[in-house]
Structure 1
Amino acid sequence: MLIRIDPSSSEPLFAQLAAAVRGAAARGELRAGERLPGARELADSLGVNLHTVLRGYQQLRDEGLVELRRGRGAVLTEQATNGLAGLRQAVADVVTQARRLGMTDNDLIDLIRTEFR
């Protein structure tokens, strides 16, 4: 798993780290039960403070996406790997509703692009 952060972004570094882990789990790059890199190791590789990594891991723990285990570090939960399934269902529901409203594919794509920004 490759974690990238942008120090010039207005989004806090710990939030970027948590988002990178969420995204990797949603894309299937991480599996339930898999260990995340150690906080010290990750902090060193990203060039950030140890507490930044710990705060990102704590955010994921608070969301139920990782378990923090003494001696084992951060371990991905089953819930973290189910995120993409929920998103796929939400997209399917949106597509169904858009069809009922007579929207074209391009109309829906434009709407999503607008909302994504």
Structure 2
Amino acid sequence: MFLALDANDKRPIYQQIADGVKALIARGALREGMVLPSVRQVSGDLGVNLNTIAVAYRQLQEEGFVAVRHGAGAVVTSRRGRQPEQEALLKSLRTALTEWILAGFNDREIAAAVRQELASARQKGDAV
């Protein structure tokens, strides 16, 4: 599993790790049923405290991206059944769209900005 941490990123390290795993799942590099490396292994690979990795894995479990099975580790779960996540994402999207509209952007400008950001994220490997 390839994860890169950015010392200049304002997100906490555990969040960078959780977001990195989500990006790997989104790209298909991690698929349903695949076992994530152990907390100890990721800790050693990244030079990060064991507890930080455990917090990231716990967040992924709470969000439904992995299931933790004692003795088997963290296993990537299906994308099905993440309805609460989709609803939260739609709420965030509505909030962002409202902010863009209040800032004076029209539909065409907003759509162009979204396309540009999506293309940029794909190029960087942050999204599918």
Matched, 1:110 2:113: yes
Other structure's SS at 1:32 match:
coil
Distance 1:109 1:4, change over 3 A: same
Could you tell me which residue of structure 1 aligns to residue 36 of structure 2? 36
Distance 1:43 1:102, change over 3 A: closer
Q: What's the TM-score, normalizing by structure 2? A: 0.65
Write the mapping of 1:1-117 to structure 2, written as runs, cut at 5 A.
1-79=1-79, 103=108, 108-110=111-113
For structure 2, the residue ranges without an aligned partner over 5 or more in a row are 91-105, 121-128
Distance 1:5 1:102, change over 3 A: closer
Distance 1:112 1:102, change over 3 A: closer
> 1:10 offset after TM fit, Å?
1.4
Distance 1:60 1:102, change over 3 A: closer
Q: Deviations over 1:77-97 (max 9, x none)?
A: 0028x8xxx7xxx8xxxxxxx
Q: Distance in 1 between matches of 2:107 and 2:43?
A: 50
Other structure's SS at 1:61 match:
helix
How many pairs were matched up?
96
Q: Distance in 2 between matches of 1:58 and 1:22?
A: 13
Distance 1:36 1:109, change over 3 A: same
Q: Distance in 2 between matches of 1:76 and 1:41?
A: 17
- Is the deviation greater in 34-43 or in 2-11? 2-11
CA RMSD of superposed structures (Å) = 2.8
